[in-house]
């Protein structure tokens, strides 16, 4: 698993990358009440705002961590946004991307580095 400074996790699954937010981020956000997912088959660039998450407190964005195509989204989050809090690294995943170069993941933190990052 790899981690971004925006508190996303990235997990390689076959030739796809699964993306969600970390437990730390889910706790900081508080109870998630709304998730707006991207359209599938959308081409995105690193840094694009592609997901909106609203908690009881505020709205925040998830940025595309890589260049590539959105090939799958977790539609269960639309009806049950609480999955993000209940199981952020499992059932609470957001989307899957197809990317050209899996090597791009090397730029991101590993688990130990992320643990240091959040202190």
Partner 1 sequence: MTDLLRLGLHDLHVSLGGKMVPFAGYEMPVQYPAGVMKEHLHTRAAAGLFDVSHMGQVILRPKTDMATLCAGFEAMMPVDVAGLAEGRQRYGLFTNEQGGILDDLMFANRGDHLFVVVNAACKAADIAHMQAHLAAVAEVLPVTDRALLALQGPQAEAALASLVPQVMAMRFMDVAVVDSVFGALWISRSGYTGEDGFEISVPDGGAHGLAEALLAMAEVAPIGLGARDSLRLEAGLCLYGHDIDEGTSPVEAGLTWAIQKTRRAGGARMGGFPGVARILRELADGPARRRVGLRPDGRAPMREGTALFSPDGAPAGTVTSGGFGPSVEAPIAMGYIDAKLADNGTALMGDVRGKHLPVTVCDLPFHPTSYKR
Contacting positions for partner 1 (CB under 8 A): 30-31, 33-34, 36, 52, 54-59, 78, 81
Smaller CB separation from partner 1, 42 or 98: 42
- Closest CB 111 distance from partner 1, rounded Å: 24
- Closest CB 54 distance from partner 1, rounded Å: 5
Smaller CB separation from partner 1, 12 or 59: 59
- Copy the structure tokens of residue 77: 């989050």
Smaller CB separation from partner 1, 14 or 58: 58
Smaller CB separation from partner 1, 30 or 47: 30
Contact between 35 and 62 (Cβ < 8 Å): no
- Displacement of CA 8 from its chain's centroid (Å): 5
- Closest CB 119 distance from partner 1, rounded Å: 15
- Closest CB 75 distance from partner 1, rounded Å: 13
Contact between 61 and 52 (Cβ < 8 Å): yes
Tell me how far apart the alpha carbons of residues 63 and 117 are, in angstroms, rounded to a whole number.
18
Is 15 exposed, middle or buried, given 0-12, 13-18 or 19+ CB atoms closer than 10 A?
exposed
């Amino acid at each position: 698993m790899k981690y971004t400074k925006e508190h996303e996790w990235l997990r390689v699954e076959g030739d796809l990358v699964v993306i969600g937010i970390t437990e730390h981020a889910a706790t900081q956000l508080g109870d998630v009440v709304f998730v707006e997912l991207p359209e599938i088959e959308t081409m995105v660039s690193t840094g694009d705002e592609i997901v909106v998450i609203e908690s009881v407190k505020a709205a925040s964005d998830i940025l595309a961590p890589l260049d590539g195509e959105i090939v799958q989204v977790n539609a269960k989050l639309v009806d049950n946004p609480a999955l993000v809090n209940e199981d952020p690294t499992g059932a609470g995943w957001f989307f899957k991307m197809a990317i050209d170069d899996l090597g791009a993941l090397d730029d991101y933190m590993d688990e130990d580095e992320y643990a240091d990052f959040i202190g």
